[in-house]
Amino acid sequence: MPDEAEDLQRIMQNVQQDHARLQRFHGVTAAASQAQRANVRLAQLEKINEMAPRGVLAAGVVTGKGAMDLLGLVPQSLGLKSSAGTPEVMRKLGELSDGDIVRLTNGAASKAELQGFLEAMPQLGSSQQGSRQVLDFLKSFNARKIALASAAERYRQENGTLDGGFVNEVAAVHSSMPLTPPPAPQEEMAAQPPAAAPSLPTAAVPPATAVPPLGA
């Protein structure tokens, strides 16, 4: 009897691990799908940015909240109300651990990368060039999501599942596709003070599905 109970317990643990790994795979692929949809919106914003003398950020077309939507991180994904503004989102991000952020983004970004980007936005938002740098960062972030999905599919075909070894694939993608928020152009910042942008309604781009730790 004890042996049967132990065998059953091991079977249940394996089932739970397989389920978690399947969730992880679906989360990574869902994040890539969200990124592809967001890229359509970013292409539109790039065209608008070229026509806006001070860029889409200064024009209020994209705000901090709008950028979070394009990242696939709507307030609800952080446990906040949908009406939460950028200050609340930034405070919540500050409370989360790096592991929490990695899980939240399905392995696509670290806490430092997200915080650095959102903190740079106000300085970059006063010029067309700065807005272009923000859009470039968002496109790079999406490219990383798509690359992670490709890596996940390749790893699953080779290993049967996304086990703990997949974290090495994630690290390789991060290393080859760094996300470093660009510095604000000082001369343009001095010439044009940052504009206060209105809140952007929640975008139609859904957040990526959160998944268990990538190293589980």
Structure confidence by residue, pLDDT tens digits, 92-126: 888 888 888 888 888 888 888 888 887 887 788 78
pLDDT score, position 199: 36
Strand (E) or helix (H) holding 125: none
Q: Which residues have CB under 8 Å from 47's CB, separation 6+?
A: none
- pTM of full prediction above 0.75: no
Residue 101 buriedness (CB in 10 A; 0-12 / 13-18 / 19+): buried
CA nearest 128: which of 79, 65, 191?
191
Mean pLDDT of 156-179: 87
DSSP conformational letter for 75: G
Q: Which band of pLDDT confidence, cut at 50, 70 and 90, is reported for residue 18?
A: low
Per residue in 27-79, pLDDT (tens digit) is 888 889 988 998 998 999 899 889 888 888 777 776 666 777 777 776 777 77
Please check the confidence at residue 131 and state whether its pLDDT lies above 70: yes
pLDDT above 70 coverage of the chain, percent = 70
DSSP conformational letter for 77: G
pLDDT score, position 212: 43
DSSP conformational letter for 210: P
pLDDT score, position 81: 76
**CB of 101 within 8 A of CB of 91?**
no
